[in-house]
Amino acid sequence: MKHSIAFTISLIFIYIVFFGIYGCSPAGEENNSTHGHNHTHQGEPGEYPTQYPDRINVTWNGDPATSFAVTWRTDSTIEQGQAHIAPATPAPQFYRNANTFDSEVTRLKAGKIEGAGVSANYHTVVFEGLKPNTLYAYKVGHDGHWSEWFQIRTASKEQEPFSFIYVGDAQNGILSHWSRSIRTAYAEEPKARFVVHAGDLVNRAHRNVEWGRWNRAGAFIQSKLPGIAVPGNHEYEGYTEEQDEKDIENLSIHWRPQFEFPLNGPEGLEETVYYLDYQGMRIIALNTNEQIDKQTRWLEKVLQDNPNRWTVVTHHHPIYSSAEGRNNEKLRSSWQPLYKKYGVDLVMQGHDHTYARGQTRNITGGVNVKDPSSGTVYVNSVSGAKMYDLGEKGWKSFGGEMQRSAENTQLYQIVHVSRDTMKYRAYTVTGELYDAFDLLQQEGQKSNKMVEKTVEVQQRSFDNTITYD
C-alpha cells in the first residue's frame, strides 16, 4: 500500500511539473505558454491576458460619422466576446436601450515567435448604423467579465470645428516616460476627437510586454479616443533569429489583431495604408517600410479624388530628415512632389527622435526667400524617451527649410481644425508651449498662408538640457 501511495504521488508530481510548469498544449494549439489560463503567470500588470477584457482600443474602419470599431484582448479560453452600445444619457439606466454585438475572434499567432510566451484571443466589434454627432456609451466582455462603460462621440457629417492629438515615437520608456506625453496631451485637450501615432509605438515588434506597456500608458484614453496609427520600422521584425540574420522582417503579430483600420489601401498593405475623412479633413496613413511604388500610385488617386477642404498625411520616416546622418531620398522623390501638386497641408512624421518643423525652401535667383505661402508643412516629432542629435545642416541638404527644432525633448502636438484655419501647437510634456503656427486658407489658391505665432522660449538642445547619457 505504501508503495502504491508513493507511486501515485510521484505520478501527480510529474503531471504538475510537466503540464503545469511547462504548459504543454493540445496538438495544433498556437502558443508557447499554458493553454488559455495565462492569468496564472507572474508578470507585469497587463502582460498576460485573463478572462477579463484588457487592451481596449477604439479605431475606425469606416465612416467616423456612423461607425467605430473596438478591439480587446482576453486569454484563449474566451472564444466569444460581446459588446453593448447605447446612446449615452445622464440617466444611469441608459443601458436599457443597449444593443448587443458578438465579437469576431482572432487567435494571436504567438507560435510564430521564438519565446513569445503568451496565448491570447483578440476580439473585434464594429458598431455601424450610428447617428452622426451623437454621444454613445459602450462596454465589452462576456458573462461576469465586463469592462466599464466608455463614452465616444461620432463625427458630424458637416464641416464642424474639431481638434486632434499627434505624437511621434513612443518606442522606449513606453510606460515610464511615454505615459507623460499621452496623458498630458489628453489633459491639455480633453475634447480632442482622435490621436495620430506616427509609428514606432514599441521597440520590439512582436514583444508582448511592450504592447502591454503601450496600452497601460494610454489606459482609458485609448478606449475613448480613436487611434490612427502607422507602423514604424520597429513594428517590423523577423519571427526568428534566422529571419533576423537574413533581414526578413514581418509586421508585428499584434498589429492587425489589435487595430481595426480601413481596408481601402493597396492590396497586401491592409491596415497599414489607408485613409479616413473627418469633418472636412482627409487623413492619409502611409507605410514607409515597404512597397513605396505601389503606395505612390494609390496615393495620387486618393489625393486626386478628394472633396475635403483639408488634407493631412502621416507616416513614420520623414521626407526631410532631422537627425544626423539620415536621408530618405526614395520617399522624398516619390511623395513630396505629390504633396506639392495636390496641396497637402500638413505631414506628421516620426523616426528621427528630434523635433523639427518647416517647409520646402523657395529659391529665387540663388537666394532663399521665406515665402509665407510656401505650401506643405512638415513636422518630425518624438514623444518617448529615446533622443538623437539634430543634423548639422538641418534640412538644407534636402531642399527643406527648418523653422523650429529641438533636441532631448519629449513633445506632443495639438491641432485645431476649422473651416478655413488650422491651428498647430507643440507642447513639451511638462505643458510648455514650444512651437505654434496657423495655416489660413486663401481663396482661389492652393497654398495656405503661414502665420507664425511667436513662442518666447529658448531653442532646446543637448547643450542646455539635462544630460541624456
Per-residue pLDDT of the chain (469 residues; tens, 9 = 90+): 444 444 444 444 444 333 333 333 322 323 333 334 444 566 899 899 999 999 999 999 999 999 999 999 999 999 999 999 999 999 999 999 999 999 999 999 998 887 777 899 999 999 999 999 999 999 999 999 999 999 999 999 999 999 999 999 999 999 999 999 999 999 999 999 999 999 999 999 999 999 999 999 999 999 999 999 999 999 999 999 899 889 999 999 999 999 999 999 999 999 999 999 999 999 999 999 999 999 999 999 999 999 999 999 999 999 999 998 899 999 999 999 999 999 999 999 999 999 999 998 764 433 334 455 568 999 999 999 999 999 988 898 898 889 999 999 999 999 999 999 999 999 999 999 999 999 999 887 878 999 999 778 889 999 999 998 7
Residue 453 within a domain: yes
Report pLDDT for 373.
Answer: 55
CATH number of the domain that residue 55 is part of = 2.60.40.380
In a shared domain, residues 91 and 193: no
In a shared domain, residues 93 and 200: no
Of 153, 180, 199, the domain-final residue: 153
Q: Are 63 and 157 in contact (CB under 8 A)?
A: no
Residue 352 within a domain: yes
| Cα–Cα distance, 190 to 167 (Å, whole number) | 15
Of the candidates 166, 168, 164, which has an alpha carbon nearest to the alpha carbon of residue 316? 168
In a shared domain, residues 148 and 169: no
Report pLDDT for 455.
Answer: 78
pTM of the entire predicted model: 0.89
In a shared domain, residues 221 and 175: yes
Of 136, 153, 170, the domain-final residue: 153
In a shared domain, residues 376 and 287: yes
Residue 10 within a domain: no
117-174 pLDDT per residue, tens: 789 999 999 999 999 999 999 999 999 999 999 999 999 999 999 999 999 999 999 9
In a shared domain, residues 56 and 170: no
Of the candidates 322, 88, 350, which has an alpha carbon nearest to the alpha carbon of residue 198? 350
In a shared domain, residues 441 and 369: yes
Residue 28 within a domain: no
In a shared domain, residues 173 and 139: no
In a shared domain, residues 117 and 226: no
CATH number of the domain that residue 430 is part of = 3.60.21.10
Report pLDDT for 154.
Answer: 98
CA distances (Å), 101 to each of 81, 104, 127, in order?
A: 9, 10, 8
Residue 17 within a domain: no
Question: How many Å separate Cα 315 from the centre of its chain?
Answer: 10
Residue 445 within a domain: yes
What's the farthest any 2 CA atoms get from each other in the chain?
104
Report pLDDT for 394.
Answer: 86
In a shared domain, residues 209 and 120: no
In a shared domain, residues 143 and 217: no
97 phi/psi in degrees, rounded to 5: -100, 15
Domain that holds residue 137: 38-153
264-280 pLDDT per residue, tens: 999 999 999 999 999 99
- Number of structural domains found in the chain: 2
Of 153, 188, 216, the domain-final residue: 153
In a shared domain, residues 112 and 133: yes
